[in-house]
Amino acid sequence: SIKYALISERREDRIYGLAENLGSAEARIKGVTLGGEPLELSIPHADHAKALETLLARLANYNPQAIGHRVVHGGNLTKAELLTPEIVSRIEAATPLAPLHNPAHLIGIEATMRLFPELPQVAVFDTAFHQTMPEHAYRYALPQNLYTEHHVRRYGFHGTSHAYVTERASELAGAKNQGGWLSAHLGNGSSTCAVWNGQSLDTSMGMTPLEGVVMGTRSGDVDPSLHLFLASNLGWSIQKIDSMLNKESGLLGLSGLSNDMRTLVEASGNGHEGATLAIEVFCYRLAKSLSALSCGLPRLDGLVFTGGIGENSAYVREKTLAYLPHFGLQFSKEKNNALARGTEGRIDNGTGPQIWVVPTDEEGRIAKETRQVVEQLA
């Protein structure tokens, strides 16, 4: 799929949408026009490149000034960068670390550079926000040469989202980018992050987006010797094990039903044991991760939930917070239940650390960082 947004200079107006089911007869673009009208466009069998060309042709009428690309893995790049041949090479070099994502980003970059050769284009990296992690947080306890020669280390992801929601929550709390915050980005991909004075100090994802908490179809943390066990006893290849951990595990694997939290909450209410277990494991492992990350903070001022599950599931928020009484995280059931479908608000009862629900705005953050890079060129 391809997510897109065209955002005005002051981030007040936007056109946005999603190209989905690419490569199939059902390929389509769904979105919202500048006037707020729904848009649906059938593009049968279109691949990423064709979908991008269709999208960009429609958006060209609005005279875009710059293009920002979300890039999942930027290796050790520490900030958004103007796309030059050197930066494109750095993205290509990081492809072994994000084989599912970076090749698609490169297709998008090539297409936009071909269609808009005169526009400045900027790469905004998921990993860049986490480059402020101290070495004791990002190093694995492995032989040194794996790090020095092969760059085996923890990188972290969802940086654009964690940066946006912790900045927003701290601003709402009255001290923008000040103090200690825990962030839980919960969707089909999920991760947690510890942020101090606007800088990432630790995060749950590692060298790849498979490490960390339970996700929609990803396992999160497992014993590394599981690979050896499955290869030796079941004859599984490395590729089959990797596919299982990324595409057949998580909520889907535990429940045997679905990777969609809404489906699982409904099924659990109807007595589905697999769904009930999947939700419990998800919330427990999430609370465990937040507890662990808190070690990196001098103090805890607040917790912020975001992402599709974090923003919309009061049930998941409640179950997770129930595992964290020792942090003094006291919440109002009434306030918690009132927040869903993109609403922003505070759900704590006024004692202890603040608890916020903040809808993420990765596109807005990408637009902001893109503008900052372009302004530096002037």
Enzyme catalytic residues = 126
Dump the DSSP string for 39-106. Answer: EEEE-TT--HHHHHHHHHHHHGGG--S-EEEEES--TT--S-EE--HHHHHHHHHTGGGSTTTHHHHH
State the angle between helix axes of 273-293 and 261-269 in degrees (0 to 180), rounded to the nearest 10.
130
**Token digits for 349?**
């009862």
Q: Please give the Cα distance from 243 to 254 (Å, whole number).
A: 16
Q: Please give the Cα distance from 207 to 221 (Å, whole number).
A: 12
C-alpha torsion sign, points 308, 313, 318, 323: negative
Distance in angstroms between the alpha carbons of the first and the last residue of the chain: 34
Pairing of strands 302-306, 354-357: parallel
Given 3-state DSSP classes, what are the helix, strand and coil percentages for the chain, each rounded to the nearest 5?
45, 15, 40
Q: What stretch of H or E contains 289? A: helix 273-293
Dump the DSSP string for 217-235. Answer: S---S--TTHHHHHHHHH-
